[in-house]
Amino acid sequence: MSRILTGIQSTGIPHLGNILGAIQPAIEMADSGDNDAFLFIADFHSLTTIKDAEIRSENVRAVAAAWLAFGLDTEKHTFYRQSDIPEVAEFTWYLSCFTPFPMLANAHSFKDKSDRLSDVNAGLFTYPVLMASDIMMYDADFVPVGKDQMQHLEMTRDIGGSINHTIGKDVLIIPEAKIKENTKLVPGIDGQKMSKSYGNDINIFEPDKKLRKRIMKIITDSKGVEESKDPDSCNVYNIYKLLATSEQDAKMRKNYTDGGYGYGHAKQELFELIIDKFAKERSAYNKLIDNPEKIEKELEKGAEKARLVAQKVLSRVRRELGYN
């Protein structure tokens, strides 16, 4: 049995791109074969940018509700909030003492802001060490990563290797990357990759009227209703095809190329498809948000399971470093 670990950013309600590109693939991967999956909400990490306690708590609840609404099996897998495992803070200190300064200075998370050092706090600078702690604290064998995230996993492997070399034994499991080759790139309403930071996201959990209004804002060209249109160059179609069946996709393409079909029609069909496809998940999400105690119960249950592993690993490391 392999242990797979995935961290989830606590940045608020997951949008359609998060769902198609992260939530559904992670749940499918966790459920495949005989995998032991650890999935955590990274609310310690969010403190580098989000200082408001209520916003951070709301974000955690929204993220947890979305994963639970999409069917994450919390009996089979371990789903927990990062901050419910205090051992990770102590473990991060041990790892930081084996992490060279130049490694952190070369991290993308720091270099992207290095020209504005007044915006960089110590938490952001040591972000990769906490990430390494999140991974090796739970004896993870594999970490699913996109190609743009490989640097952080390589840093984790280097830090773990340094500790094992210094101690002279394999006290830490060195994780391997599980490259996400077929991650869906979901376009936003402006055609760029869907992202909250771009302000181009679609929140499928919004009430019907707000969701429809958002979809109607998708940017298109100015071709009239009667004109034939190229579906592959249209933002509406490029979102629609990610959700549609093969039959629905073929029909939509024909509508575009035949003419007599406007972008307003296409947007309405996309709206109806989202409402139909995610009806169960939208209902489950809203029920969970209205009953936050259910979310807390699930996270607490996961934290109990995660802490058993964390305490075992921390005890092992403490012993080898002489902190008995």
pLDDT band at 106 (very low <50, low <70, confident <90, very high): very high
Q: Please report the domains of the chain, with CATH numbers, ordered by start residue.
A: 3-185+292-321 (3.40.50.620), 205-277 (1.10.240.10)
pLDDT of residue 183: 73
pLDDT band at 119 (very low <50, low <70, confident <90, very high): confident
pLDDT of residue 180: 74
Exposed e or buried b for every residue in 4-35, given b needs 16+ CB within 10 A? bbbbbbbbbbbbbbbbbbbbebbbebbeeeeb
Mean of all residue pLDDT scores within the chain? 94
User: What is the pLDDT averaged over residues 97-116?
Assistant: 86
Instruction: Please name which of 70, 194, 292, 280 lies closest in space to residue 203, comparing C-alpha atoms.
Output: 194
pLDDT of residue 307: 98
The continuous run of DSSP H or E covering 237 comes out as helix 235-243
Contact 271, 209 (CB under 8 A): no
User: What is the amino acid identity at position 268?
Assistant: Q
Q: What pLDDT digit, counting tens, does each position of 198-246 carry? A: 999 999 999 999 999 999 999 999 999 999 999 999 999 999 999 999 9
User: What is the pLDDT averaged over residues 21-42?
Assistant: 90
Mapping DSSP onto H, E and C, the string for 95-107 reads HHCCCCHHHHHCC
**264's tokens:** 């307003």
pLDDT band at 188 (very low <50, low <70, confident <90, very high): very high
Range from 142-151, 159-168, 169-178 carrying the lowest mean pLDDT: 142-151
pLDDT of residue 77: 95
pLDDT band at 120 (very low <50, low <70, confident <90, very high): confident
Q: Which of 25-34, 88-97, 108-117 shows the highest mean pLDDT?
A: 88-97
Range from 30-39, 71-80, 268-277 carrying the lowest mean pLDDT: 30-39
pLDDT of residue 252: 98
pLDDT of residue 168: 95
Q: Write phi, then psi, for 2 (nearest 5 degrees).
A: -105, 145
Question: Mind giving me the DSSP string for 251-311?
Answer: HHHHHHHHSS--HHHHHHHHHHHHHHHTHHHHHHHHHHHH-HHHHHHHHHHHHHHHHHHHH
pLDDT of residue 108: 84
Residues in the chain: 324
pLDDT of residue 178: 87
pTM recorded for the entire structure: 0.93
pLDDT value at 113 more than 80: no
pLDDT value at 52 more than 90: yes
pLDDT band at 116 (very low <50, low <70, confident <90, very high): confident
Q: What pLDDT digit, counting tens, does each position of 60-75 carry? A: 999 999 999 999 999 9
User: What is the amino acid identity at position 54?
Assistant: E
Range from 143-147, 150-154, 191-195 carrying the lowest mean pLDDT: 143-147
Please report how many Cα atoms fall inside a 13 Å half-sphere around the Cα of residue 271, on the Cβ side. 19
User: What is the pLDDT averaged over residues 38-42?
Assistant: 97
